[in-house]
Amino acid sequence: MADGSVVTTFDPYAVRAQFPILSRQVNGRPLVYLDNAASAQKPRAVIDALTATMEGGYANVHRGLHTLSNEATEAFEKAREIVARFLNAESPEQVVWTKGGTEAINLVANGLGLQIQPGDEIIVSEMEHHSNIVPWHLLRERRGAVIRWIPVRDDGSLDMAAYADLLGPKTRMVAVTHMSNVLGTINPVAEISRLAHAAGAQVLIDGCQGAVHATPDVQAIDCDFYVLTGHKLFGPTGIGALYGKAEALEALPPYQGGGEMIETVEQDRVTYAKPPHRFEAGTPPILEAIGLGVALKWLTQYDRAAVQAHEHALYQHAVDRLQGQNWLRILGQAEGKGAILTFAVEGAHAHDVAQIMDRYGVAVRAGLHCAEPLAKRMGVTSSTRASFALYNTVEDADAFVDALIKARNFFV
């Protein structure tokens, strides 16, 4: 590990035992939680850290001269350092706290919007989450930006040749997901960055899934911005982070005004703090940031390759058991994809499938998954999604398949 600590042997059953909620029952059945792409559960380490901070170490951070404030500030800034190491950023000053991935993307889009000219182009892909679509639409509506779309192939992979053709002298930003929240596709983000920079454009990577299930090395990716959200990384809600190259953050104007983000305030002028504090107006999410730091420290004790192999094995086990079911359509089967199994059941609405599976204790997601352009591209009006995490087991995968087959039988 980057901080020199010892890697703990990865045992999914030992990991699972650290999550209190996974021992409960739903509808008289053991909970099988497969909605991890929406939000992950929290380990005891995070729960205990939040409680301990509230009970014995909470105060507002920065500028305080008393013991509690100093302790809280140290823990708060330590969490920033943990995020920086997790992303392999060069410095903690490149990590901006936000309330989630959505706010992080909006922060960048808002700053770019003050500089963009009518006709400037923003490239996104057809597989993006709405959080990486709508902020750019706001620039289309308000500033005359043009959105151009990277096509998705039938197997769920990006059409990289088409992407290369989209790049041009008017391209200002390329904003793509590291890993699709619907298809599980892990995109070649380093190559995407290389091509964009060659065309003179900046790159933002939505890492809300990729930070969990891929490898978020921002120096290897060479992106200008990378965003993540805490609640998918086994941390609290209401916390996320924006990584930015030093020069990229320096070039962005402030996103919000208030305390903390200034150097001086006078009646006729104001000067702003350096990044990251320039973008952190007001009292920050102190407990949430500390909780995210603890979650990442907990997560990174396990070998990342072992975790990824385990998650993929669960996905493949479920897929193998479902082979030959001609009533099932799996969306996204790109090579090297992450452990997300999204599907449509012939003759059944996704919401009905999910509700019936819930009767058997299996929690899955149903709907458009905040990715309407992708649903249209794949020719579905809704789909059901099972997403695996490191605490899931082969028994969970089997329970999922059994519940899905039972659900399908309601419609024949």
Supply the DSSP string of 79-136, one letter for each residue: HHHHHHHHHT-S-GGGEEEESSHHHHHHHHHHHHHTT--TT-EEEEETT--GGGTHHH
pLDDT for residue 27 is more than 70 = yes
Share of the chain above pLDDT 90, in %: 97
- So which residues are the catalytic ones? 370
pLDDT for residue 5 is more than 80 = no
Residue type, 184: G
Report which secondary-structure segment, H or E, holds 328: strand 328-331
Q: Which residue has the tokens 């590990």?
A: 1
**Which phi and psi (to 5°) does residue 158 adopt?**
-75, 145
Our measurement of the distance from residue 277's CA atom to the centroid of its chain's CA atoms, rounded to an integer in Å, reads 22
> What span, in angstroms and rounded, lies between the C-alpha atoms of 71 and 45?
19
Structure confidence by residue, pLDDT tens digits, 35-49: 999 999 999 999 999
CB count in 10 Å sphere of residue 177: 28
Structure token pair of residue 180: 């699709």
Which of 49, 56, 44 has its CA nearest to residue 14? 44
Structure confidence by residue, pLDDT tens digits, 290-345: 999 999 999 999 999 999 999 999 999 999 999 999 999 999 999 999 999 999 99
Residue type, 36: N
pLDDT, position 63: 82
Share of the chain above pLDDT 70, in %: 99
Which of 167, 230, 169 has its CA nearest to residue 193? 167
| Domains along the chain with CATH numbers | 12-42+303-409 (3.90.1150.10), 49-299 (3.40.640.10)
Which of 363, 269, 389 has its CA nearest to residue 25? 363
